[in-house]
Amino acid sequence: EHLSSNGSDPGQIARAVYDVEEATSTAFDIILEQKMIKSETRASLIKFLQLLVAHHPSRRCRKGSAEVLVNFDDLCPSDMWSTEKQEDSDGKSALRNFQICGKDVPRGYWMFCRGSKNDTRGFSCGLWVLLHSLSVRIEDGESQFAFTAICEFVHNFFICEECRQHFYDMCSSVSNPFNKTRDFALWLWSAHNKVNERLIKEEASLGTEDPKFPKMIWPPKQLCSSCHLRRSQRNNSIDWDQDEVFKFLSNYYGKTLVSLYKDK
């Protein structure tokens, strides 16, 4: 079966509910394996967990995130990775054995985010889907909190060095605090499109793209025709109807994504 996430079948996004769980659990495992929790990154992990507790689309990830938060000082003692404790810290093993989205996750495979090659898509796709799904779920009054939680999380904990730097630069260029869900969701959408734009150029020369999932400025007309006003003649960029884009994002990453998931 050919899955085209960028193509014309919005029904495919429903499969991403599995991938947001997979991405959450993978992110957490990487943080532990790479010993990324340090005195200077603890606060940003707590912030991101708070966002997950309230707004993760999967109930079992919300529950697991809450348990990590409630027991944070025991699970992540501030000296958990100090040199003398490195090999046999109880804190480390307690956390290592903790599965943030429950015992069935990670499953070891991707659904919506499955690449056509082993080393493409997967985790980074799942992380984007998780971030977008958080961005449409927050309340207006949480939008600045969500923005800083996501910026700091990517900056401190995303495994791809180049990505964290690029993303951090985009975060740093925001000058006014967000006070609407809509504005933050649209900012994240536009940041993702800036990454896509760069990769459209880079991947062609690096040969790192997934041939079945070419990067594109998103959403294409087939997914949301009302989002597109017209192609501006001057620089060939797309003129967006931002109200329509926000409506589309809310539906795509909000309602559709959770619809399989009432009881989990």
- List residues near ligand FAD by CB under 6 A: 5-6, 113, 121, 124-125, 127-129, 132, 154, 162-163, 166-167, 189, 192-193, 195-196, 199, 210, 213, 218
Burial of 1 (0-12, 13-18, 19+ CB in 10 A): exposed
Report, in Å, the least distance between residue 86 CB and ligand FAD.
Answer: 29
Cα gap 93→240, rounded to integer Å: 49
Residue type for position 156? N
CB of 140 to ligand FAD, least distance (A): 20
Question: Which residue blocks in 108-260 are alpha helix, DSSP H?
Answer: 123-137, 143-157, 161-172, 181-206, 242-250, 257-258
Q: Which of 14, 19, 234, 17 is nearest to 113 (CA)?
A: 19
Looking at the Cβ atoms of 60 and 215, the one nearer to ligand FAD is: 215
Q: How far is the CB of 25 from ligand FAD (least distance, A)?
A: 16
Cβ atoms within 10 Å of 201's Cβ, excluding its own: 10
CB of residue 3 vs ligand FAD: minimum separation in angstroms? 10
Q: How far, rounded to the nearest angstrom, does the alpha carbon of residue 81 sit from its chain's CA centroid?
A: 26
- Cβ at position 216, least distance to ligand FAD in Å: 7
In the complex with ligand FAD, the residue whose CB is nearer, 59 or 166, is 166
- Report the residue number, 49 or 245, with the smaller CB distance to ligand FAD: 245
Q: Between 95 and 123, name the residue whose CB sits nearer to ligand FAD.
A: 123
The pair of structure tokens assigned to 93 is 């093993």
Tell me how far, at minimum, the Cβ of 194 lies from ligand FAD, in Å.
8
* Cis previous bond, 177, omega within 30: no
Q: Cβ(52)–Cβ(91) under 8 Å?
A: no
Q: How far apart are alpha carbons 198 and 126 in whole angstroms? A: 19
Q: Which is nearer to ligand FAD, 89 or 124 (CB)?
A: 124
Smaller CB separation from ligand FAD, 48 or 76: 48
